[in-house]
């Protein structure tokens, strides 16, 4: 899975990076099911152990499949202990604070997995592209973000960041699909067309994010995301490998005599 990982300071040219994925859908789906079962077990352990904190950041162009990845990868995982934090246009109260204020509040506690659907990276993406703050303000944010993530990591949070990489052509197809199906109209946002028109600007802003904020303590992974089944497989696998490395402890069982004592107590009721 290392091939999807961006090394610190690595140059990234998104147009040269695969969006398609490899292999057959059948095989990927079968492999994913195995991974998903293991993830369920590890997540339960993580929750019962109450020690590790896991933060998963999802970013990508509109329609890149952030919602679908959350549904797919965490399918069947016990919702207790897994939370999703959505970052939308900031409220007045959020804007009155620094941009990390709303983010820090949502970071995982012990035993939790938190998935960020969009994140503090919007503050160097949409904010940069639409000039929502002056250049000199957003340009400082890469270092600030690295420092913030280092703080989280040093305090025991494992951070994984996934950029869902779709092609411009695939985005067009997904938008057309939404328009063709009335039951999907709620997903269509006319604003997405305006953002699509400045795809190149987003690409450039994403390249800067990937080059400047992939660190040892909070790496970025570029996930080929044109095929939903491949996207879920790769994210699932990276997540599983990461959880396996944490050596999460199996919850201890009770000594046999203690079990017996409680059993007797119940039976003698």
User: Which residues of this chain interact with ligand ADP, rule CB under 6 A?
Assistant: 62, 87-90, 118, 122-123, 126-127, 189
> What burial letters (b/e) apply to 143-181, b meaning 16+ CB within 10 Å?
ebbbebbeebbeeebbbbbbbbbbbeebbeebbeebeee
How many whole angstroms separate alpha carbon 235 and alpha carbon 64? 14
Cβ closer to ligand ADP: 62 or 207? Answer: 62
Cβ closer to ligand ADP: 18 or 62? Answer: 62
Report residue 118 as tokens: 């969009």
| Minimal distance, residue 84 CB to ligand ADP, in Å | 11
How many whole angstroms separate alpha carbon 170 and alpha carbon 172? 5
| Minimal distance, residue 119 CB to ligand ADP, in Å | 8
How many whole angstroms separate alpha carbon 54 and alpha carbon 67? 18
Q: Which residue is nearest to ligand ADP (CB)?
A: 122
| Minimal distance, residue 244 CB to ligand ADP, in Å | 30
| Minimal distance, residue 19 CB to ligand ADP, in Å | 19
Cβ closer to ligand ADP: 14 or 126? Answer: 126
How many whole angstroms separate alpha carbon 245 and alpha carbon 87? 29
Burial class (CB in 10 A: 0-12, 13-18, 19+), 64: buried
Cβ closer to ligand ADP: 32 or 116? Answer: 116
Cβ closer to ligand ADP: 122 or 170? Answer: 122
| Minimal distance, residue 145 CB to ligand ADP, in Å | 12
Non-local (6+) Cβ contacts of 127 within 8 A are 99, 133, 138
């Amino acid at each position: 899975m290392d091939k999807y990982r961006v090394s610190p300071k690595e140059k990234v040219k998104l147009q040269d990076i695969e969006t398609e994925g490899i292999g057959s859908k059948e095989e990927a789906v079968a492999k994913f099911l195995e991974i998903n079962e293991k993830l369920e077990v590890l997540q339960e352990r993580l929750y019962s152990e109450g020690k590790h904190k896991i933060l998963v950041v999802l970013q990508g162009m509109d329609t890149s499949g952030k919602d679908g990845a959350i549904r797919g990868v965490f399918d069947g995982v016990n919702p207790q202990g897994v939370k999703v934090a959505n970052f939308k246009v900031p409220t007045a109260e959020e804007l009155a604070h620094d941009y990390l204020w709303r983010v820090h509040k949502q970071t995982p506690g012990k035993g939790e997995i938190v998935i960020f659907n969009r994140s503090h990276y919007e503050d160097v993406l949409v904010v940069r592209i639409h000039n929502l703050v002056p250049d000199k303000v957003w340009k400082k944010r890469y270092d600030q973000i690295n420092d913030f993530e280092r703080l989280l990591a040093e305090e025991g949070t494992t951070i994984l960041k996934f950029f869902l990489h779709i092609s411009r052509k695939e985005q067009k197809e997904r938008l057309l699909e939404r328009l063709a199906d009335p039951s999907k109209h709620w997903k269509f946002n006319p604003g997405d067309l305006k953002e699509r028109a400045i795809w190149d600007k987003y690409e450039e802003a994403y390249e800067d994010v990937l080059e400047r904020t992939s660190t040892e303590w909070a790496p970025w992974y570029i996930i080929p995301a044109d095929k939903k089944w491949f996207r879920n497989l790769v994210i699932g696998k990276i997540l599983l490998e990461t959880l396996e490395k944490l050596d999460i402890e199996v919850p201890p069982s009770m000594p046999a005599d203690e079990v017996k004592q409680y059993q007797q107590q119940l039976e003698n009721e």
